[in-house]
Amino acid sequence: TGLDITNLSNVMKVVEELRPGVILNCAAYNLVDKAENEPDKAFKVNAEGPKILALAAHTYGSFFVHYSSDYVFDGMKESGLYHENDITNPLNEYGRSKLAGEKMVQDENIESLIFRLSWVFGEGKQNFISKLTEWAEKSEYLKISCDEFSVPTYTNTVVDVTLKALDKGITGLYHLTNSGFCSRYEWAKYILGSVGINKFIRPVSMDLFNLPAKRPKFSAMSNHQIADLTGAHIPTWEEAVSAFLHERGSRHE
């Protein structure tokens, strides 16, 4: 059953009844372009929702885990990957709402973990891998941005590192991604090559798509801090994509 995280009384009632040791907030408004026209909705879910959950965690003594985004950055850093202490400067309403959510959780001063994720993929159809394979089946050729860089991140990696961090009692804000980074074009080529779809992909600038929400061109984050603290071996994005495609293929056999 779903829980509306923006409803204070409902959240308090459920947490009081269940008394969970840990609350994980995976809920988010993630329609990046749509958020430009309905910022209030994005802020309600991505900022007020986490604040309410953090308040409930504070009230009933639960540990709180919240997931944020690489879109809190503007992509203008020129000296390597983004680290946890780098200056945030979101370019769009979605990014601003996610940053507000981080701050609201931190303001509660509770035992918590905040993880910034990027280019998340896994089960379901609302991710780049599912969309790409669908586009490839319907189109003669594809246009994919070659000047937008980040880190594809597998949900299994997120779960694995989150559990390790909880087990070790780690608190604070960290970047949680697979290792390495790539452009969307490189990611698309790797995916289609892995599944044996021979489709021409034309590399283009992301500016060509003229999307409502401005996106950072380079938002790749370093996972070294959380990897060091947990002792986790975090797979490269290529290893993670291959593992996901292998598991997906096994299920469909």
Query: What does the H/E/C string look like for the chain?
Result: CCCCCCCHHHHHHHHHHHCCCEEEECCCCCCCCHHHCCHHHHHHHHHHHHHHHHHHHHHHCCEEEEEEEHHHCCCCCCCCCECCCCCCCCCCHHHHHHHHHHHHHHHCCCCEEEEEECCEECCCCCCHHHHHHHHHHHCCEEEEECCCEECCEEHHHHHHHHHHHHHCCCCEEEECCCECCEEHHHHHHHHHHHHCCCCEEEEECHHHHCCCCCCCCECCECCHHHHHHHCCCCCEHHHHHHHHHHHHHHHHC
71 is catalytic: no
Spot the catalytic one: 67, 82, 94, 185.
94
Positions marked active-site: 94
